[in-house]
Structure 1
């Protein structure tokens, strides 16, 4: 009997903290973020069809790209944790329907305001999960999503469009690392390379002149 007890204790120690345990907060977080992802994907698709400005259309496409990736990862985690995911909430669909009644600048303004509010709420949920969640995998998912959601908020902060905020920054699935360099990044690197090359050439020329002067003095 003592051997059985020791074996059980050893198993508990080797397993460490209850990493697979899922609290009510963890479940609520996964479900809420899934709803948010669905809402952002729908809103992004809608913006590409109805927005008046290229900036809003661009932000919309970025939301679709990133939230699709985030939600794909979240679904895999939900399956692993046996957590049921809800459909797109009716409130989000109603919000889209009401915005479709608007046109031009009015649509863009309402869309950006909704995205500003939505991403602020999403960040609050993420930060709460990171600070007081229980399941380590859910917390890791929240940490991975945070830089992406923060980038999105920067693009719509204050209800103003800043599509350029997405250039060369984090994307979903990168774990917070930089995205692939853009053409602007390559142009900047090229300019820096040319400047450095010119500086090295100037230094080389100066060294050559000094060497010739020393040779002439020796003669």
Structure 2
């Protein structure tokens, strides 16, 4: 009887070992496609432009409201861009070294009115248009992007950009809308990504591990209980 149980358990273990395991989900997101790479480059240039504009406003604006908004842009876009650069490096995306020529010209146009009320008006109008454009880029990425990490970065940036737009909407300054906080530091990585691989790995081992465990426990119980009648 003991021989029969041991043989059955051995057959069970061999069968489980031969079973194909469910492949674990990849721990790294798929490579960035053209849409993703274009988005990362454009948003990086946008971040550089907003940081430059924010720094300029702190020196050349005439109202404390515009200076406060400028400070928020430097703070938030600096954090967002740090995350974005780390993600670009990971995905092998080469980033531009400066804002676009159009962005440079827009800031230069505002600078020509430095320390006048016309500067504040031009600066706010430019930021309204810039953040509206960035929101459109983000929404396009969320709809058409392929890389989950790039999409996660876009999703993390959206409420920040939206808050900035509220602060300059219609060319009117609303510094009081600054929340003063930004959840950066991981915006370039999907929160769901680290969970997927361990779960899949557990599933992959689940069927085999469970059955092997069951066979082992059955053998132990047989040895402890002995052969009936002894």
Question: Could you tell me how far 1:174 is from its partner in structure 2?
Answer: 7.5
The residue that corresponds to 1:87 in the other structure is 97
- Measure, in 1, the Cα distance between the counterparts of 2:64 and 2:73: 14
Q: Does 1:68 align with 2:59?
A: no
Question: Could you tell me how far 1:172 is from its partner in structure 2?
Answer: 4.6
- Measure, in 1, the Cα distance between the counterparts of 2:21 and 2:117: 65
Flag the 1:91–1:79 CA change in 2: closer, same or farther, 3 A.
same
User: Secondary structure of the equivalent of 1:14?
Assistant: coil
Q: Work out whether residues 66 and 172 of structure 1, in 8 Å CA contact, stay in contact via their aligned partners in 2.
A: no
The residue that corresponds to 1:100 in the other structure is 111
Q: Which structure's CA Rg is the greater one?
A: 2
- Which of residues 132, 137, 151 is equivalent to 2:144? 132
The residue that corresponds to 1:28 in the other structure is 38
- Measure, in 2, the Cα distance between the counterparts of 1:120 and 1:10: 48
Q: Work out whether residues 125 and 168 of structure 2, in 8 Å CA contact, stay in contact via their aligned partners in 1.
A: yes
User: Secondary structure of the equivalent of 1:19?
Assistant: coil
Question: Could you tell me how far 1:171 is from its partner in structure 2?
Answer: 1.8
User: Secondary structure of the equivalent of 2:157?
Assistant: helix
The residue that corresponds to 2:62 in the other structure is 52
Task: Tell me: higher relative CO, structure 1 or 2? Use CA pairs within 8 A at least 6 residues apart.
Answer: 2
Flag the 1:14–1:46 CA change in 2: closer, same or farther, 3 A.
same
Question: Could you tell me how far 1:167 is from its partner in structure 2?
Answer: 3.6
Structure 2, unpaired ranges of 5+: 1-19, 188-230
Question: Could you tell me how far 1:81 is from its partner in structure 2?
Answer: 0.2
Deviations 1:50-98 (A, max 9, x none): 0010000000000000000000000000000000000222221222112
Flag the 1:101–1:153 CA change in 2: closer, same or farther, 3 A.
same
Q: Does 1:42 align with 2:42?
A: no
Flag the 1:87–1:174 CA change in 2: closer, same or farther, 3 A.
closer
The residue that corresponds to 1:109 in the other structure is 121
- Measure, in 1, the Cα distance between the counterparts of 2:186 and 2:29: 20
- Measure, in 1, the Cα distance between the counterparts of 2:78 and 2:103: 17
